[in-house]
Amino acid sequence: MTASAPLVGIVMGSDSDWPVMEAAATALAEFGIPYEVDVVSAHRMPHEMIAYGEEAAGRGLKAIIAGAGGAAHLPGMLASVTPLPVIGVPVPLKYLDGMDSLLSIVQMPAGVPVATVSVAGARNAGLLAARMLAAHDPALLTRMQEFQRELNAQATEKGKRLRT
């Protein structure tokens, strides 16, 4: 967490999701984006979950990253009560290899979008939130372009090593 007012909310159904979700926080930190982290369980604390979604925009958040496993209703329920973009992270549990989490999050009805990343794809969730903010922030957009150049250089270097 950072000292400035958070722009991204990272929430999850349980603290057991944190080992997966931490990568979203790391990505945001790399771009200097202030974020907050909390457990907001759709099933165990439904009233708090609704309040979180309803109050998020008013508190200054610009996007929500929501991770959950199994019957993963958190991202979709948040999307139903906030006008903010919601990025869903399917967290894999012991059984079903995360397919249950993925399908619970990705199959949203028309009108209530959730941008679902890959199973355990919390890093991409953080990067996607960074891109959303960068669309309205030239300095952040420049930083994102640098990041993409770094990715390119790293991949190019790997190819070079294989070829020699």
Which parts of this chain interact with ligand RP5 (CB under 6 A)?
12-14, 16-17, 41, 43, 68-70, 91, 93
Q: How far is the CB of 26 from ligand RP5 (least distance, A)?
A: 19
Closest among 71, 82, 75, 5 to 40, alpha carbons compared: 75
**Residue ranges at the known binding site for substrate:** 14, 17, 44
Cα–Cα nearest to 103, from 70, 129, 66:
70
Strands 63-69 and 115-116: unpaired
Enumerate the known binding-site residues.
14, 17, 44
Distance CA 104, CA 83 (A): 20
Name the residue with the smallest CB distance to ligand RP5.
Answer: 13
**Residue closer to ligand RP5 (CB basis): 16 or 26:** 16
**Cα(77)–Cα(5) distance, rounded to whole angstroms?**
24
Measured from the CB atom, is 14 or 124 closer to ligand RP5?
14
Between residues 44 and 149, which has the closer beta carbon with respect to ligand RP5? 44
CB closer to ligand RP5, 17 vs 129:
17
- Least separation in angstroms between residue 13's CB and ligand RP5 is 2
Shortest Å distance, C-beta 18 to ligand RP5 = 10
Nearest 10 degrees: Cα torsion 109, 111, 115, 116: 0
Q: How far is the CB of 94 from ligand RP5 (least distance, A)?
A: 9
Contact (Cβ atoms closer than 8 angstroms) between residue 92 and residue 84: no
Question: Tokens 């397919």 appear where?
Answer: 99
